[in-house]
Structure 1
């Protein structure tokens, strides 16, 4: 028990150190968090780019008259618990939205605690709880055009649909809910007293082993009529045991807030 307490205390201190300096993404599907957690002593490097599929969305915030801003996110996430049935990761990301003068805190933190499937009892789902985009709360006047200080807290459950006889597994389904900072999800152009700072999280993912064990597909959804609400589809190819790339497309629910849809490439590298 003392060892567990010491590890959790160290994790908390590291997380606070990361968040004290100021979006960070935990282990994800394409857009939303997943119930996956980085293994103990695994360091994960993620380099995510979001390229606009077209020019300026109608009424979208953009300093340019030709195209909404692209986004780049570079992040490190580490697994810190040496237990099979209780896992934890912490991370920090540097996220840059091109030509955005309102976002003064590009460095942000995240953490996640989770249990894998069947760790609690037979047929139990995987469970995860965490926070991301942790950082100083932004002034309400900056919202909704910044991600720093969204301070999104979430919970998720996931279950793999088992194979039945000759019918292969249909993949894994996940469902959960999130809530974020009211300031960061306000649309001050409409009504400063209202915010859309919560919604459902849904996803489906599957390794396409009929084609190749290196091929993975996913669809996910983040609810809420806010800057983060989106439907996302993508495929991933593992070029090596520890290196994979996701190629995806992001459809934003509120283009006036989030800008036009984006193509995304997400390079993931695990060490060791």
Structure 2
């Protein structure tokens, strides 16, 4: 498939402008809402509710792995718009150990049924906005923008899909060739509905899977299981694999702890 340079360039400009708006709108920043490995979900953090995440990716029974554990991600996300039909979140991630650990993100969108009866959820966002932009160092300004659509299919679960495009100077394959755009897809479905003492209903278990195309830093996917201790605390675990093992190495196991602070 040939690239349409003019269309991609316009999309990057629009997303850059959106990123400036999102980061200027609030000083409370955060980790993007994700399905599993990617931000391939149209969920947006609730207004004024901070979300803390701790994500780790590590090798399992692999001796001599050239590219071992990935950086540990500690993030904070918060919703910043007090509206039902138009929602927005913004966030900051700390990836350690790293010389330039800070990454920013923002996302704005509408939930299902907000535009018209039966309309899909729609998101426009940007993530992995790194702070190291020098050509003489290892750059972190991936600046990946995405447009995502989501829909609940009765009896099946929730499906998500949409394109992404990032900084061509940074998103490359392990051979150094530019590979800065592609698509993301995601899926989740909840099981075992329960109620807490306050009468709030939530699913104790959620199966989740996602995938990002491209032989770059985000290319890959995984499938795993969420276990909700309460409606505000969950643990996700499962395997993650990568499209270009020259960048992230072989498959890893992930453990992700998520906490909402009502």
TM value normalised by structure 2: 0.81
Q: Report if the CA contact (8 A) 2:220-2:243 is conserved.
A: yes
Partner of 1:51: 58
Matches within 5 A, 1:242-253: 242-253=232-243
Partner of 1:218, secondary structure, is: strand
Change beyond 3 A, Cα 1:116–1:56: farther
What count of residue pairs does the alignment treat as equivalent? 234
Partner of 1:195: 178
Matches within 5 A, 1:175-254: 175-187=161-173, 190-191=175-176, 194-209=177-192, 213-254=203-244
How far apart, in 1, do the equivalents of 2:238 and 2:254 lie? Answer: 5
Change beyond 3 A, Cα 1:47–1:137: same
211-220 vs 226-235, which deviates more?
A: 211-220
Matches within 5 A, 1:24-173: 25-33=31-39, 34-53=41-60, 54-56=62-64, 62=67, 68-96=68-96, 98=97, 104-139=99-134, 148-162=140-154, 169-173=155-159
How far apart, in 2, do the equivalents of 1:82 and 1:222 lie? Answer: 31
Q: How far 1:226 moved relative to its partner?
A: 1.3
Q: Which has the larger share of strand?
A: 2
How far apart, in 2, do the equivalents of 1:219 and 1:10 lie? Answer: 30
Q: How far 1:271 moved relative to its partner?
A: 0.9
Q: Report if the CA contact (8 A) 1:18-1:108 is conserved.
A: no
How far apart, in 2, do the equivalents of 1:227 and 1:12 lie? Answer: 23
Q: Report if the CA contact (8 A) 2:70-2:248 is conserved.
A: no
How far apart, in 1, do the equivalents of 2:111 and 2:248 lie? Answer: 33
Change beyond 3 A, Cα 1:182–1:10: closer
How far apart, in 2, do the equivalents of 1:135 and 1:213 lie? Answer: 35
